[in-house]
Structure 1
Amino acid sequence: MASSPIQSLPKEVVNLIAAGEVIDSLAAVVRELVENSLDAGATRIVISVWTELWRVRVADNGYGMDLDNLRLAATPHSTSKIHDYDDLWKITTLGFRGEALHSLAQLSDLEIASRAVDNSEGWRILYDNLGEPVIEEAIAIAPGTIVTVSNLFGNWPVRRQALPTPAKQMRSLQAIIHQIAICHPQITLQVEQNDRSWFTISPGTTAQDILPQIIRDVKLGDLQYLRVELLVNPENSQLPKISQAEYLELVLGLPDRCHRRRADWVKVATNGRIIKSSEIEQTIFTALARTLPRDRFPVCFLHLKISPDRIDWNRHPTKAEVYLQSISYLQKQVSSAIEQALNFNPQTISETVHNQRVGKLLAVAEEKANYNINRTIQPETTKKDEINLMELRAVAQVNNTYIVAEHPAGLWLIEQHIAHERVLYEQICEHWQIVPLEPPIILNNLSPQQVEQLQRIGLEIETFGEQIWAIRHAPELLSQREDCPEALRELSLGGDLQTAQVAVACRSAIRNGTPLTLPEMQTLLTQWQHTRHPRTCPHGRPIFLSLEESALARFFRRHWVIGKSHGI
């Protein structure tokens, strides 16, 4: 398949395009050239960099160009990707402005060698600083294109001096290549530095196959992949219609296995390019709240594949910032996708047999930290056709701390206290209730900050004497407990309402060391499975350890042939 012919853009289209390409570093050169290779249908791209020589070469196996197109490739506003005004609103390529190669011709010595897939010979052209050919020669070359940028910023010494050190530039270049790789997982990317191999990113089916290659200590099993179709929302006819061809792809680091010290791996992409979207990024952080340990951050890659007419790429010269239509709808879909990825359901737990989910179990208050099996079960009143849940059967309790649960794919070990803490925390968030205390609880020696904190979370407190306060309301789960005074003092030590809710859930959950009957264990397991974020407790601790049947079989060597294992 050959690319469209290159032609100069009409003046009225040029006037609508944002200011010129930002070629400010070696990384920017690589970004522009690799995006051109991707637009040309390349499946293998080789990137070579010589930092001391200010030289970059990008070779691909794409469609290539014939001689006529090569002659126009570096002239200003010349592109094969758009042709008129209407094309600005249906952009399906990574590049479209026709400025990158012309900018490189102005800033460096630019050479392009290419052979179109339907031609028997290739051509090499060297361009002047206006983008006009000065040397043309026929060469032997495989179909594809090789672009060489030499002496970058040679006539712009001030720009060279303002750039970071070569080591920092290479880190930026590596980050650019990583971003391209996760957006285009089917591409092989080979990178060379100073004539030596630096790294290679092998192709995969989805970004889930790419992330373990570029993030240290992340394994394929630490990640959950989910693809969600974007459909019309029947509950709100005011939303723009979204076709079934549009979807989002989510690769999420499971919070019980995978997280970061910095918020550096929450990435959002749209139609093949990483973008900056504070609204979508904040949605991701909010959806994962209270699933990670303190001061840890998620690993998440979200790729929105949406119709081009819902995107305005002309907001920023590097196309890193865009305008997205229906942003609130997209935020809801992202939140829903993350919740679905964290749940135990057919799409996120493989090799299991599932039961039909017929209702959601809700429970009332705990008393004295004992788990009450005779709780009131409230049936689900919203949706009857919920997701299927995997079969999980309680079989034993270890050290009055861990529940052993069996399912068709193996065994799980669940810590009872933090599983119950997750159940109570989500109930508390949904039904936070402050109830009167009769008689009131008396506390002494509270600081002004502690008094203010109790008032901040909605408790009524009044002076009862010198350094004595009467508390007349408390969270419902704590109100009937013997240790309610200690719990209220704990709540007074600081934090927002969410922190207080976590503290209430933690104090109200059954303690490790509490014996449970099999029915009690089964009830707890069922309620825990129905939570939105069952993998970790609100403090970010992992709740369960999975021992899959396949791993057990390998450990006990059940695949051995009996005769051979006995030396027969």
Structure 2
Amino acid sequence: MRAPIALLPSHLADQIAAGEVVERPASVVKEFLENALDSGATQIDIVIEQGGEKLIQITDNGCGIPKEELLLAVSRHATSKIQSLKDLAAVATLGFRGEALASISSVSRFSLTSKTADSPAAWQLRGEGEGHWGDITPVAGRVGTQVSVEDLFFNTPARKRFLRSPQTEFMHIDQLVKRVMLSRPDVGFKLVHNDKVVRQVLPVSDEASARKRLAQLMGQPFVEQSLSIEFEGQQIQLNGWVGLPTFNRSQTDMQYLFVNGRIVRDRLLSYAVKQAYADVLYHGRHPAYVLFLQMPHDLVDVNVHPAKYEVRFANGSWAYDFLRRSVRDAVAKPLNAEHGSGKTLGMPMEAAVAEGFDGNSRLNAQTAFFKTQQAGSGKLQAALQFQMPSSAGVAEPLASYNTLSSAAEMPPADVSEFKLGFAKMQLHGVFILAENARGLVLVDMHAAHERVVYERLKKQWQQRALISQPLLVPMVLTLDASQLLVWQEYADWFAKLGFEMEPLGPEQLKVSAVPALLAKGNIVRLVNDMLADLAVAGQTQQFEERLNAMLSTMACHGSVRANRQLTIEEMNALLREMEATERSDQCNHGRPTWVQLSMEQLDGLFMRGQ
């Protein structure tokens, strides 16, 4: 026989809520840090003992809590951050539910000490779990708040058994604090574990301090091999740092994404960044980045997860597309493009300073140089002509283009005008050795030219528009009702890509023509994959990926092969084309096309100066 329905005791309701809010000690730290940041703190100190099981203490210099509100602060559903449904629809603070302190205090020995600017003393409230509160007493203290949790889960031993070792629990705390430090460069932090300072960062005041702080948190190699980016669109902004494709990881452990200052784990946005690197990253590797996305608060729903790690967008495909395009454009910049102008793209942080890179002056110098040299020498014509299917399915030649444009045999006096310098010789028919202002440049001849040809083919394909090829026998696809609904919504878009489709029955789709380049591919799988992406994200890169794979194969076969002897003019022409080509740092498969050896590195190889 069932028990009668009854209201839960308040302390039991708090402990049940704690099961959602307090997964482990790191969850407590997260809630306290969010409250500290919401209070306007500019300095936050975190003290941890035994991985947070014995002590979690966080002190801030924020606005503080008045004496008369201390007891209310630890009550369920009590908050100063929202007062109406309208406020909930546009939450600008990190915390807002008013459940955390009540839940945490119900499973720990808890104290809350706070002082406002107009209060003569700090006031302290202490509790022993299960809603047992002592008197509010005056204590010495500075403006701000200190919240302490001792003996976490002391009264819920079943939950305590699920804690890992102190080292493991502190690792989770440390990673959380690192993310918060990245999210708020304007705030100073100090993290202490078992009386040892583990992390300490100062507020950012200028570009130099920003680089120093980023190096403390992400490591110097990331700083040296990342691009500072800043893009702005309608009602949306993106800034932060993206690692160069050559700085990649075996795991996703260096990917940090913040939406309106909030740490988020969003599969759609993570996938957008992954797609931005799709054409330059070696397979099985992952990019590194620290990115901040800003948009109106009423376009982001943060009230979808108890721990507030997940968000929902009013228009997810809009955010996805902006993020993908922005990062893609950043990592695709040609070597001679100007970086860091206005709202576009910054330089590789340390490398830019070392090289004194000036994109405009180099580009102007290169243009003038080519005009001078080409006046007296004809262009070297390509031996290859690529074939592209016509609308009738018959191959027709693309406009002939230069495989390697002409270049000067003698470089100008100032080799610093060009990023890759000027060729000196070819090594075993595979590598080009060039001299630039920094030292020696080694270029993989085939890989570099493969990228140049590939990017040129992509542009030619886009300029010629997409061509359909009729099928001799129309193809019939069997789809379910939900897939047909997706196709109906995006039917015009499929038509623009070169597909001719029409419904044949309640669960069938007739395909009469397909994009010419993909006619020999697996159309059934392609359409199914595209529909699946559109259903989930409202976006798909399946078509672009298949098309690029075909063009990549054509480029591979059409680029200069190993053991082909090039003249100095041809080598220099390839270097100039690399400098003007997007994504030329990597071949079509994500491998590097060139490496730089500085004079300091060369001196070190021969122990010069030692």
TM-score using structure 1 length: 0.70
Range with greater deviation from structure 2 (522-531 or 286-295): 522-531
Residue matched to 1:542: 592
Alignment partner, residue 26 of structure 1: 25
1:346 corresponds to: 338
SS of the equivalent of 2:106 reads: helix
In the alignment, what sits opposite 2:302?
313
Q: 1-side partners of 2:301 and 2:520: how far apart?
A: 49
Partner of residue 212 from structure 1, selected from 210, 215, 221: 215
Q: Measure the CA separation in 1 of the matches of 2:66 and 2:95.
A: 19
SS of 2:449's partner is: helix
Q: Give the C-alpha shift of residue 308 in structure 1.
A: 0.5
1:391 CA drift (Å): 5.3
Q: Find out whether 1:255 has 2:241 as its counterpart.
A: no
Aligned to 2:177: 177
Deviation at 1:317, TM superposition (A): 0.9
Matched residue type, 1:214: L
Displacement of 1:260 in angstroms is 0.8
Residue 199 (structure 1) aligns with: 199
- 1:267 and 1:99 map into 2 onto residues whose CA distance is 27
For residue 41 of structure 2, what is the aligned residue in structure 1? Answer: 42
The 8 Å contact of residues 423 and 572 in structure 2, kept in 1 or not, is answered as: no
Paired residue type of 1:287: A
1:425 aligns with 2:425: no
Alignment of 1:11-410 (within 5 A): 22-51=21-50, 53-127=53-127, 129=129, 133-204=133-204, 210-215=213-218, 218-231=221-234, 242=235, 246-256=236-246, 258-342=247-331, 343=333, 344=335, 345-347=337-339, 348-349=346-347, 350=352, 351-354=357-360, 355=363, 367=384, 376=401, 395-400=422-427, 401-402=431-432, 404=434, 406=436
Query: Following the alignment from structure 2 to structure 1, what is the Cα–Cα distance between the partners of residues 184 and 303?
Result: 22
Q: For 1:146, what is the secondary structure of its paired residue?
A: strand
Task: Note if contact 1:92-1:308 (Cα within 8 Å) is conserved in structure 2.
Answer: yes
Structure 1 residues 294, 323: closer, same or farther in 2, change over 3 A? closer
1:327-376 CA-partner distances (Å, limit 9, x unpaired): 22222222222233221432244431423699xxxx9975499xxxx953
Instruction: Quote the offset at 1:395 in angstroms.
Output: 2.8
User: In structure 1, what is the Cα distance between the partners aligned to 2:425 and 2:140?
Assistant: 72
Is residue 574 of structure 2 the alignment partner of residue 524 of structure 1?
A: yes
Instruction: Give how far 1:499 is off.
Output: 5.8
Q: Distance in 2 between matches of 1:421 and 1:201?
A: 45
Give, in whole Å, the separation in 2 of the partners of 1:101 and 1:32: 8
Which of the two has greater helix per residue?
A: 2
C-alpha spacing 1:325/1:502, structure 2 compared with 1 (3 Å) = same
Q: What CA distance in whole angstroms lies between the structure 2 residues aligned with 1:182 and 1:524? A: 40
Q: Secondary structure at the match of 1:537?
A: coil
- Give deviations 1:386-434, integer Å, cap 9, x for gaps: xxxx855753233353253657x88755433222111123345566799
Conserved in 2, the CA contact under 8 Å of 1:261 and 1:295?
Answer: yes
Shift of 1:168: 2.2
User: C-alpha offsets along residues 23-77 of structure 1, whole Å, 9 cap, x if unaligned?
Assistant: 1210000000011111111122111112375321111122222212323211121
By how many angstroms is 1:309 displaced?
A: 0.5
Cα distance in 2 between the residues matched to 1:412 and 1:286: 30
More off after superposition, 47-56 vs 422-431: 422-431
Report SS of the residue matched to 1:510.
coil
* DSSP-derived class of the 2:135 partner: strand
Instruction: Give, in whole Å, the separation in 2 of the partners of 1:210 and 1:500.
Output: 43
C-alpha deviation, 1:315, in angstroms: 0.9
Deviation at 1:293, TM superposition (A): 2.9
Q: Distance in 2 between matches of 1:412 and 1:309?
A: 51
Give, in whole Å, the separation in 2 of the partners of 1:289 and 1:209.
Answer: 30
CA distance in structure 2 between the aligned counterparts of 1:63 and 1:364, rounded to whole angstroms:
72
Residue by residue, what CA displacement relative to the aligned partner does 1:519-547 show, whole Å, maximum 9, x if unpaired?
53444334323433222122322223346
Moved more, 69-78 or 205-214: 205-214
* Cα distance in 2 for residues equivalent to 1:331 and 1:377: 37
**Following the alignment from structure 1 to structure 2, what is the Cα–Cα distance between the partners of residues 375 and 329?**
38
Tell me which amino acid in the other structure corresponds to 1:255.
P
Q: Is the 8 A contact 1:208 1:251 kept in 2?
A: no
- Amino acid in the other structure paired with 1:104: I
Distance verdict in 2 for CA 1:66–1:554, change over 3 Å: farther
**Contact 2:251–2:285 (Cα < 8 Å) also in 1:** yes
Is this contact kept in 1: 2:385–2:400, CA < 8 A? no
Measure the CA separation in 2 of the matches of 1:216 and 1:395: 33
Give distance in 2, aligned partners of 1:366 and 1:133: 86
Contact 2:422-2:575 at 8 Å conserved across structures: no
| Residue of 515, 533, 541 corresponding to 2:583 | 533
Task: Tell me by how many angstroms 1:554 deviates.
Answer: 13
Contact 1:109-1:127 at 8 Å conserved across structures: yes
1:86 & 1:19 partners in 2: Cα distance?
27
What is the rounded CA distance, in whole Å, between the counterparts of 2:266 and 2:77 in structure 1?
Answer: 28
1:253-286 superposed Cα distances (whole Å, 9 cap, x missing partner): 1112x11111233332211122122121111111
Q: 1:377 to 1:499 in 2, by over 3 A?
A: closer
Check 1:59–1:31 CA distance in 2 against 1; reply closer, same or farther (3 A cut).
same
Whether contact under 8 Å (2:452, 2:578) holds in the other structure is yes
CA drift of 1:508 comes to 3.2
Provide structure 1 residue ranges, at least 5 long, that are not aligned to the other structure. Answer: 1-17, 232-241, 379-389, 435-455, 461-494, 557-568
Q: Residues 105, 553 of structure 1: CA spacing in aligned structure 2 closer, same or farther, 3 A cutoff?
A: closer
Distance 1:393 1:264, change over 3 A: closer
Give the Cα separation in 2 of the matches to 1:418 and 1:177.
Answer: 42
Identity of counterpart residues, as a percentage? 28
> CA shift at 1:252, angstroms?
0.8
Cα 1:541/1:552, change in 2 over 3 Å: same
CA contact (8 A) 2:113 2:122 kept: yes
2-side partners of 1:513 and 1:397: how far apart? Answer: 17
Q: In 1, distance between residues paired with 2:573 and 2:566?
A: 11
Question: In the alignment, is the contact (CA less than 8 A) between 2:426 and 2:566 conserved in 1?
Answer: no
How far residue 80 of structure 1 moved from its aligned partner, in angstroms, is 1.7
- SS of corresponding position for 1:292: coil
**Aligned residue in 2 for 1:509:** 559
- Quote how far apart the aligned CAs of 1:215 are: 3.9
